[in-house]
Amino acid sequence: MGLFDVLSGKRKLKQPAPDRLFAMSTAYVTLQTELELQSRGVAGIVFQALETHDFTEILRDMEEVVRSSAADTGGKVESAEFGYRWMILRDEDFDDLVVGVNAVGTEIQAGGYGDRLLASVFAFEDAQKRPVYFIYNYKRGAFYPFVPAGEKSRDNERELRLKAQLGHELPFEPELERWFPLWDIPI
């Protein structure tokens, strides 16, 4: 907290670190080859929507840009409401998913709404077709794995193993109590 913050009585929130999101592109090789996790060809970005004209316009413009880019690469874009607003990208090219999610987050942040960004989620599956998610928390600028293991339960042991196996490639959230489960992920 700086002197200006003390005088104004305000705290500035740390801005999201979107450049850290690109670590997922390089980690993807390890995910495929060493950990035998395959992308499900889908990723999503979740945020708290505002019912303002400015925010709605930013989203509309961003969706249009992502849709036209996705059309060029064979991808698709969807929007969904699951407690929060989701923008879901589908593309067989994993790098296109990372770039698309980053573009959405960057545009929301550039519009002055970076504090509304919650997470990006990348969906994978193992050889037995079980889901494995990597969640990027924008507020913390870090990833964590989420491995559902049934109705509202998770495989904590596997999540910790994934952190140990990928810790040198992804910026992981060091505080395990901040590894929040996202139940009923729409991707």
pTM for the full model?
Answer: 0.86
Question: What does DSSP say about strands 142-146 and 84-90: parallel, antiparallel, or unpaired?
Answer: unpaired
More confident residue, 82 or 95: 95
H or E element: which one contains 134? strand 131-137
Residue 8, pLDDT above cutoff 60: no
pLDDT, tens only, 173-186: 999 999 999 998 99
Average pLDDT over the chain, rounded to whole?
Answer: 87
Q: Nearest-CA neighbor of 41 among 131, 122, 133? A: 122
Give the max Cα distance, the chain.
57
Contact 118, 46 (CB under 8 A): yes
Asked whether residue 75 carries a pLDDT value surpassing 50, the answer given is yes
Owner of token pair 């770039």: 99
- What's the CA gap between 90 and 61, in Å, rounded? 18
Does residue 18 have a pLDDT over 70? no
CATH of domain 15-173: 3.30.70.1130
pLDDT tens per residue, range 87-99: 999 999 999 999 9
Residue 11 has pLDDT above 80, yes or no: no
Question: DSSP secondary structure string, 67-117?
Answer: HHHHHHHT-EEEEEEESEEEEEEE-S-HHHHHHHHHHHHHHHIIIIIGGGE
Confidence of residue 124 (pLDDT cuts 50, 70, 90): very high
